[in-house]
Each structure stands twice: as structure tokens, then as C-alpha cells.
Structure 1
């Protein structure tokens, strides 16, 4: 039996984290503090520049009240959808969401 190798898509994971963070109404800095990581590391996670370790992934799952599979984009029909974001966000945050959407379409 062949073993199937699946490479994680850290850019997609980062986009999911960012959308969930914005939906929850917290800044990168606030979320980083809650996770016990630096704001720089949080930014790198959201941009897919670094891999997310299991400890941080589990903390994110708990904070967002979702399964790890949702953060990884592995669950069918549970992908984070930016249209679920409420209208209470700044123009800068909405532009960030649009950038994420544009990357997903391409």
C-alpha cells in the first residue's frame, strides 16, 4: 500500500487564521498575546512565511472554537468564508479581507 504524502499549505492556513481573527474582532497583537507568541510571529503565520506548530495550532483551535481541520482547510464545507465577517471592521481590515479573497480566486 502506497503512503500518500500531503504537504500543508501554510499560505492557506495563514489566510484562514487571518479571516477568523478579523471575524472575532481582535488585532494581530491581541491574538499573539493570547497565544503566547510575538506579534511578528503572528504576522508571519498569517502570511504563510512560517509553519504553524502543533501547540499554536491547538491554541488557535481553542480560541476560535473550531476544529484544527477547519484551520487547515481540510473539512468539507467548513472553509473560512470572508463573507461571514460583520460590518464592524475598519477600512484597512476590509482591504485585508479583499486581499485574501483575491489570492484565493487566483
Structure 2
């Protein structure tokens, strides 16, 4: 998390001092968070996320997925939405069909 805090702060072009001023803490507090020597309470962490315009998944490094929803087409989003509505058995049937069709296209 410490590395991500630094990464997102720098991406936004925010200095440690600017973040410290926003949070009402000393500059060296930000440094200690980014080094991982001190922990951040959740309310402060949420404040940081709001200030940097990121979410907790970003700060904890959870959002590094192979495909982000932003990269999906409308057809793909519709497919996922409808797929989630299916029963487990029907999901398995659809997956089998998709695998067969994909193999035909290779």
C-alpha cells in the first residue's frame, strides 16, 4: 500500500507537503506512510483516496486486473450482465459453447 500511495500521489502531481497540508499533518508523516513505517487510519486513508481521486482498491493494489471495465465494449458488457443472470448449469453450457466457437475461429 505504501508504494501505491506514493505512485498515485506522484501521478496526480501532488507533493508530500501538499498532501500533508490537505490532511493537516506534518510532511514527515506522509513520508513515513510512503515508506511503510507508520500505518494510516481508515478515515485518513479514505480522505487521501478522495483527494487523489482513486479508490481503496487502487491504494491496496487490488485493481490491477487483466481487463478493466473501461476496456469492454457495450456488447461485452451486455454479455457479462446477462451471463451473471444465468443459473450455474446454464453458465456452464454457455461457456462450453463459447469455447467450441472460439476453437473454430482459430
- Greater helix content: 2
Structure number with higher relative contact order (C-alpha < 8 Å, ≥ 6 residues apart): 1
Q: Deviations over 1:13-50 (max 9, x none)?
A: 11101111111112111111112221111100000001
Distance in 2 separating the partners of 1:33 and 1:42: 10
Equivalent pairs counted in the alignment come to 66
Counterpart selection for 2:17 from 4, 9, 29: 29
Q: Deviations over 1:27-79 (max 9, x none)?
A: 1111111122211111000000011111111011101111112101123429x
Write the mapping of 1:50-89 to structure 2, written as runs, cut at 5 A.
50-77=38-65
Counterpart selection for 1:47 from 35, 51, 67: 35
Deviating above 6 A after TM superposition, structure 1's stretches of 4 or more consecutive aligned residues are none
Unaligned ranges ≥5, structure 1: 1-12, 79-106
In the superposition, the TM-score normalised over structure 1's length comes to 0.57
Specify the structure having the higher radius of gyration (Cα). Answer: 2
In the superposition, the TM-score normalised over structure 2's length comes to 0.57
The two structures, once aligned, show a CA RMSD in angstroms of 1.6
Distance in 2 separating the partners of 1:21 and 1:75: 16
